[in-house]
């Protein structure tokens, strides 16, 4: 039987935030719509590369540099030095996915809720506040204060230390298989949110739970634990 965890640890970007508005921001800046997803993937890739060499980079520094390079390569982009910051402004003011508010409200009934982002804690705080659920989370953590980015083991151990729990008392909730794999290898329990119906990569450690959305995850834990 699956027992509800004492602490549910949430990834932030894409897991809680809806990245859809970035597509419009890219198009408005003269970049292709598909560039929004590519840009975010590149930010993560380069952050992981720096993490692999023992560095703990600033997410926004990487994001802004990558945006400027995307703008430089886009034939339709305007010659405007402030354009990258305007796109970043959209990224830092996204809204929650529709399932997040009811999902976290249900999960909060049986667990402490905490976020752990490769971005800044301030962005997570702002996102949750706009959605009206900040008070449901005890902490918003960032790898900026940890030794390394996720999916390095040290990031998850940092979160466990901040909550005063063992790693196996935390369940990471994320849409990213790489995050699920990293948390699982660090000893955390895991739940993969698969809103798109994607196939999970066979080379990563499988999640303990797969759910279509956060409400579904809460229902699984409630039924299994109750």
pLDDT tens digit sequence for 121-158: 999 999 999 999 999 999 999 999 999 999 999 999 99
Task: Examine residue 2 and state whether it is found in any structural domain, yes or no.
Answer: no
Residue 18, pLDDT above cutoff 90: yes
Residues 66 and 153 in one domain: no
Residues 37 and 106 in one domain: no
Residues 42 and 115 in one domain: no
Matching residue, tokens 């859809």: 20
Task: Examine residue 206 and state whether it is found in any structural domain, yes or no.
Answer: yes
Measured from the Cβ of residue 26, the count of other Cβ atoms closer than 10 Å reads 25
Residues 14 and 44 in one domain: no
Give the three-class secondary structure for 96.
strand
Number of H helices and E strands in the chain, helices first, is 9, 8
Residues 79 and 191 in one domain: no
Please count the structural domains in the chain: 2
Over residues 66-91, mean pLDDT:
85
Residues 14 and 25 in one domain: no
Range of the domain at 66: 21-91
Residues 74 and 101 in one domain: no
Residues 68 and 103 in one domain: no
Res 226: pLDDT: 46
Q: Greater confidence, 193 or 225?
A: 193
Residues 115 and 59 in one domain: no
- Residue 16's nearest CA partner among 104, 87, 89, 90 is 104
CATH number at residue 99: 3.40.50.1000
């Amino acid at each position: 039987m699956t027992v509800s965890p004492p602490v549910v640890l949430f990834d932030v970007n894409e897991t809680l935030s809806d990245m859809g508005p970035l597509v419009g921001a890219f198009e408005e800046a003269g970049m292709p719509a598909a560039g929004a997803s590519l840009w975010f993937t590149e930010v993560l890739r380069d952050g992981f590369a720096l993490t692999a060499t023992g560095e703990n980079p600033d997410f926004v520094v990487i994001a802004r540099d990558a945006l400027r390079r995307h703008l430089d390569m886009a034939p339709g982009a305007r010659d405007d030095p402030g354009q990258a910051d305007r796109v970043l402004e959209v990224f830092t003011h996204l809204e929650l996915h529709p399932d997040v508010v009811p999902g976290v409200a249900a999960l909060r009934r049986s667990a402490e809720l905490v976020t752990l982002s490769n971005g800044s804690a301030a962005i997570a705080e702002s996102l949750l506040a706009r959605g009206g659920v900040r008070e449901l989370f005890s902490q918003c953590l960032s790898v900026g204060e940890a030794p390394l980015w996720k999916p390095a083991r040290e990031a998850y151990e940092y979160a466990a230390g901040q909550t005063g729990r063992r790693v196996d008392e935390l369940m990471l909730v994320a849409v990213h298989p790489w995050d699920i794999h990293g948390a699982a290898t660090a000893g955390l329990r895991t739940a993969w949110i698969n809103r798109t119906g994607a196939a999970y990569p066979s080379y990563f450690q499988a999640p303990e739970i797969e759910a279509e959305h956060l409400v579904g995850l809460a229902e699984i834990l409630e039924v299994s634990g109750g």
